[in-house]
Amino acid sequence: MKKMRKESKKGFTLVELIVVLVILAVLAAMLVPALTGYIRRAREEKEYQTAATVYSAAQAVITDMYGRGKASGSGTLTNGTSTFGSDVFDLAGVNQSAVTSFSFKYDDNFIITGGSVTVNGSTYQLTITGGVPEWSV
Protein backbone atom coordinates (compact mmCIF):
# COMPACT_ATOMS: atom_id res chain seq x y z
CA MET A 1 0.00 0.00 0.00
CA LYS A 2 1.24 3.42 -0.84
CA LYS A 3 1.63 5.95 1.87
CA MET A 4 -0.20 9.16 1.24
CA ARG A 5 1.88 12.13 1.97
CA LYS A 6 0.49 15.42 2.97
CA GLU A 7 1.41 17.87 0.22
CA SER A 8 1.82 21.48 1.18
CA LYS A 9 0.17 24.07 -1.01
CA LYS A 10 2.46 26.97 -1.85
CA GLY A 11 1.50 30.21 -3.54
CA PHE A 12 -1.79 31.40 -4.99
CA THR A 13 -3.81 29.95 -7.79
CA LEU A 14 -4.40 31.83 -11.00
CA VAL A 15 -8.07 32.29 -10.15
CA GLU A 16 -7.23 33.90 -6.79
CA LEU A 17 -4.86 36.34 -8.46
CA ILE A 18 -7.41 37.27 -11.12
CA VAL A 19 -10.07 37.90 -8.45
CA VAL A 20 -7.72 40.24 -6.58
CA LEU A 21 -6.86 42.12 -9.79
CA VAL A 22 -10.56 42.53 -10.65
CA ILE A 23 -11.28 43.93 -7.18
CA LEU A 24 -8.38 46.39 -7.50
CA ALA A 25 -9.60 47.46 -10.96
CA VAL A 26 -13.10 48.14 -9.63
CA LEU A 27 -11.71 50.20 -6.74
CA ALA A 28 -9.50 52.18 -9.11
CA ALA A 29 -12.45 52.83 -11.43
CA MET A 30 -14.38 54.29 -8.50
CA LEU A 31 -11.45 56.34 -7.21
CA VAL A 32 -10.33 58.11 -10.40
CA PRO A 33 -13.54 60.15 -10.99
CA ALA A 34 -13.63 61.19 -7.34
CA LEU A 35 -10.03 62.41 -7.47
CA THR A 36 -10.72 64.27 -10.72
CA GLY A 37 -13.56 66.14 -9.00
CA TYR A 38 -11.34 67.06 -6.06
CA ILE A 39 -8.64 68.36 -8.38
CA ARG A 40 -11.15 70.48 -10.33
CA ARG A 41 -12.63 71.95 -7.14
CA ALA A 42 -9.17 72.70 -5.76
CA ARG A 43 -8.25 74.52 -8.98
CA GLU A 44 -11.46 76.57 -8.82
CA GLU A 45 -10.81 77.43 -5.17
CA LYS A 46 -7.29 78.56 -6.03
CA GLU A 47 -8.64 80.80 -8.82
CA TYR A 48 -11.26 82.26 -6.45
CA GLN A 49 -8.57 83.00 -3.84
CA THR A 50 -6.43 84.65 -6.52
CA ALA A 51 -9.38 86.87 -7.54
CA ALA A 52 -9.99 87.78 -3.89
CA THR A 53 -6.30 88.64 -3.43
CA VAL A 54 -6.38 90.91 -6.50
CA TYR A 55 -9.49 92.60 -5.09
CA SER A 56 -7.77 93.25 -1.74
CA ALA A 57 -4.66 94.58 -3.46
CA ALA A 58 -6.77 96.81 -5.72
CA GLN A 59 -8.54 98.30 -2.70
CA ALA A 60 -5.16 99.02 -1.10
CA VAL A 61 -3.89 100.67 -4.31
CA ILE A 62 -7.04 102.81 -4.63
CA THR A 63 -6.66 103.91 -1.00
CA ASP A 64 -3.00 104.72 -1.65
CA MET A 65 -3.94 106.69 -4.79
CA TYR A 66 -6.34 108.75 -2.70
CA GLY A 67 -3.74 109.30 0.04
CA ARG A 68 -1.21 110.57 -2.48
CA GLY A 69 -3.78 112.80 -4.19
CA LYS A 70 -3.50 110.84 -7.45
CA ALA A 71 -7.22 110.10 -7.62
CA SER A 72 -10.26 112.27 -7.20
CA GLY A 73 -13.85 111.14 -7.17
CA SER A 74 -15.17 107.86 -8.45
CA GLY A 75 -13.47 105.89 -11.18
CA THR A 76 -12.27 102.56 -12.49
CA LEU A 77 -9.00 100.76 -11.84
CA THR A 78 -7.95 98.26 -14.48
CA ASN A 79 -4.74 96.37 -15.20
CA GLY A 80 -4.16 98.85 -18.04
CA THR A 81 -4.30 101.90 -15.72
CA SER A 82 -0.76 103.32 -15.97
CA THR A 83 1.44 102.17 -13.11
CA PHE A 84 -1.44 101.50 -10.74
CA GLY A 85 -2.38 98.29 -12.54
CA SER A 86 1.11 96.90 -12.07
CA ASP A 87 1.02 98.08 -8.43
CA VAL A 88 -1.92 95.72 -7.90
CA PHE A 89 0.05 92.81 -9.34
CA ASP A 90 3.08 93.69 -7.23
CA LEU A 91 1.04 94.01 -4.04
CA ALA A 92 -1.06 90.89 -4.67
CA GLY A 93 1.99 88.82 -5.64
CA VAL A 94 0.03 86.91 -8.26
CA ASN A 95 1.21 85.49 -11.56
CA GLN A 96 0.40 88.01 -14.29
CA SER A 97 0.07 85.25 -16.87
CA ALA A 98 -2.70 83.67 -14.76
CA VAL A 99 -4.56 86.94 -14.09
CA THR A 100 -5.16 88.27 -17.58
CA SER A 101 -7.35 91.23 -16.62
CA PHE A 102 -9.14 92.99 -13.80
CA SER A 103 -11.42 95.97 -13.54
CA PHE A 104 -12.77 97.53 -10.34
CA LYS A 105 -15.15 100.47 -9.99
CA TYR A 106 -14.82 102.66 -6.91
CA ASP A 107 -17.02 105.40 -5.52
CA ASP A 108 -16.33 108.93 -4.24
CA ASN A 109 -15.17 107.44 -0.92
CA PHE A 110 -12.56 105.35 -2.80
CA ILE A 111 -14.21 102.07 -1.88
CA ILE A 112 -14.61 99.38 -4.51
CA THR A 113 -18.26 98.88 -5.45
CA GLY A 114 -17.88 96.08 -8.00
CA GLY A 115 -15.73 94.67 -10.72
CA SER A 116 -14.31 91.57 -12.31
CA VAL A 117 -11.12 89.50 -12.39
CA THR A 118 -10.18 87.02 -15.12
CA VAL A 119 -8.05 84.14 -13.83
CA ASN A 120 -6.93 81.37 -16.21
CA GLY A 121 -9.77 82.18 -18.59
CA SER A 122 -12.51 82.21 -15.92
CA THR A 123 -14.06 85.60 -15.19
CA TYR A 124 -15.11 86.20 -11.59
CA GLN A 125 -17.70 88.97 -11.14
CA LEU A 126 -17.60 90.95 -7.90
CA THR A 127 -20.73 92.47 -6.40
CA ILE A 128 -20.75 94.15 -3.02
CA THR A 129 -23.98 94.05 -1.05
CA GLY A 130 -24.08 95.74 2.34
CA GLY A 131 -20.29 95.92 2.43
CA VAL A 132 -19.92 92.17 1.85
CA PRO A 133 -18.10 91.10 -1.33
CA GLU A 134 -19.75 88.27 -3.26
CA TRP A 135 -18.17 86.46 -6.21
CA SER A 136 -19.82 84.67 -9.10
CA VAL A 137 -18.36 82.95 -12.13
Tens of pLDDT, residue by residue, the chain (137 residues): 566 666 666 788 999 999 999 999 999 999 888 888 888 889 889 988 988 888 888 888 888 877 777 767 778 887 776 667 777 877 788 877 888 888 888 888 888 889 999 998 889 999 988 878 888 88
Whether 5 is covered by a domain: the verdict is no
CA distance 55 to 27: 42
| Residue 10 within a domain | no
> Which residues face 114 on adjacent strands?
105, 127
Task: Look at residue 6 and tell me if it is in a domain.
Answer: no
* Residue 84 domain boundaries: 15-136
**Cross-strand pairs, 116:** 103, 125
The DSSP element (H or E) to which 4 belongs, if any, is none
In angstroms, rounded to a whole number, what is the distance separating the alpha carbons of residues 110 and 63? 6
9 domain residue, yes or no: no
The pLDDT assigned to 1 comes to 54
Q: Is residue 66 part of a domain?
A: yes
CB 92 within 8 A of CB 57: yes
User: What is the count of structural domains for the chain?
Assistant: 1
- In-domain check, residue 67: yes
99 within a domain of the structure (yes/no): yes
- The predicted-structure confidence for 11-36, as pLDDT tens digits, reads as follows 889 999 999 999 999 999 998 888 88
- Is residue 96 a part of any domain in this protein? yes
Q: What angle do CA 65, 50, 70 make, to 5 degrees?
A: 5
Round to whole Å and give the CA distance between 98 and 62.
Answer: 22
